[in-house]
Each structure stands twice: as structure tokens, then as C-alpha cells.
Amino acid sequence: MIRPILIHPDPRLKKPCEAVGEITPEIRALAADMLETMYDAPGVGLAAPQVGVTKRVVVMDCIKDGPPEPIVMVDPQVVWASEDVTTYEEGCLSIPDQYAEVKRPASVRVAWTDLDGLRQERDFTGLWATCAQHEIDHLDGKLFIDYLGPLKRQMITRKMEKLKRERARQG
Ligand code: K1U
Ligand code: ZN
């Protein structure tokens, strides 16, 4: 099922999410819905708070051409980050049509629980590394615009408020 994606500003996007712990049928259904929602958008990642669920669940697939490579991460943690940084022009499905350069570690090692309840660990580079950090930030109530200066952040927030008013009017 495709779930509606919340648009910034929304208090649910600013709230730190709670740990999941045990993998239940509800978490498996949430992950399946999140993957469907991400591919439909389309996006390369999605975090549970973006669909209004404040739990620590993330999905990603940064393969643009070729067979899909979906990853579901429950309770993900960055356990190592490289000293070298990279700049990527990020977007966000909760901040449509707005992009800005964000500097982050170029490589990260992430540990998480998979849907079989097994602990996983993997190194990510390139877009996968940027996306993993962007999604884990969502779980801590942080958006990519929080890395920008106050004027740019305010300008984007005002555009999103206007977009939400227009969408509400259209029904
Ligand atoms: O979390 C999100 O809002 C998803 C976001 C993830 C992301 C994008 C870019 C850098 C870091 C994290 C998106 O997927 S925005 C859409 C997007 O980047 C994209 C869409 C279609 C094809 C390729 C990329
Ligand atoms: Zn995002």
C-alpha cells in the first residue's frame, strides 16, 4: 500500500523516533509499504517518520539502472564514519523540488536489524552513504535543510508552507 508522504513543516518530522526492537508482522507490513511508497515517489530512500510512523525504520535503493536492490534497516546506527567528506546535492521527498549541497562523511559503516531479526553490518560509499546518513537523520528528527544557513532554511520552509496551503485548497 502506498502511504501519503508528510511534507515539511510537520511536528512528526522533528520528533526523535523510538527503537523497534522485536520484528513484528506490523513492522514487516510497514517496511513493505515504505518500499512501495519510495519506488512510487520515486526516491532512493524513505524513513518511517515521513509516512507518519515515528519508529526507527528506513528503506533504501540507490540503484538507478539495473535490477532493484532494496534494503530495509530497522534500528540502524552509524558505527563508523570516514574522515573524508563529500558534497552531494540532496533532495527530500518531504521537501519536494528543493535541493541543496550538504557535506557529509564520504563512507560510513552502518549496523542494523533486518526483517529476519538478524543484526547486519555493511560499509556504504557514494550515494548509498549519503542516503543512509540522510535517512538516519530523519529518525533523529533532522532534515537536510538543518545543515543550511537560517535564511536558506527559512526560504525553503516558507515555500513548503505555501505548497501545503495550495494542496489543502485543492483537496
Ligand atoms: O529521504 C528522502 O526524502 C528520500 C530522498 C533521499 C536522498 C536523496 C538524495 C540524497 C540523499 C538522500 C530521495 O530519494 S529524493 C529523490 C531522489 O533523490 C531521486 C529520485 C529518483 C531517482 C533518483 C533520485
Ligand atoms: Zn528526506
In the set 36, 89, 121, 135, the catalytic residue is 135
- Reply yes or no on whether the pLDDT at 171 is more than 90: no
Rounded average pLDDT over 63-87: 96
Q: How far is the CA of 48 from the centre of ligand 2 (A)?
A: 10
Q: How far is the CA of 4 from the centre of ligand 1 (A)?
A: 16
Question: Out of 12-21, 63-72, 84-93, 151-160, which region has the weakest mean confidence (pLDDT)?
Answer: 63-72
The answer, as to whether pTM is greater than 0.95, is yes
C-beta separation of 84 from 149 below 8 A = no
The pLDDT assigned to 112 comes to 99
Cα separation, 38 vs 46, whole angstroms: 6
135 assigned to active site: yes
Half-sphere exposure (Cβ direction) of 152: Cα atoms closer than 13 Å: 11
Cα separation, 4 vs 6, whole angstroms: 6
* Residue count of the chain: 171
Which ligand has its closest atom nearest to the C-alpha of 101? 1
Q: How confident is the model at residue 82 (pLDDT cuts 50, 70, 90)?
A: very high
Tens digit of each residue's pLDDT (9 = 90 or more) over 88-129? 999 999 999 999 999 999 999 999 999 999 999 999 999 999
- Reply yes or no on whether the pLDDT at 64 is more than 90: no
Residue of minimum CA distance from atom 14 in ligand 1: 43
Half-sphere exposure (Cβ direction) of 28: Cα atoms closer than 13 Å: 7
**Residue of 64, 131, 135, 142 with the most ligand 1 atoms within 8 Å of its CB, for mutation:** 131
Which ligand has its closest atom nearest to the C-alpha of 42? 1
Tens digit of each residue's pLDDT (9 = 90 or more) over 18-62? 999 999 999 999 999 999 999 999 999 999 999 999 999 999 999
Q: How far is the CA of 138 from the centre of ligand 2 (A)?
A: 7
Residues whose beta carbon lies within 6 Å of some atom of ligand 1: 42-47, 64, 88, 90-94, 130-131, 134-135, 138
Residue of minimum CA distance from atom 4 in ligand 1: 45
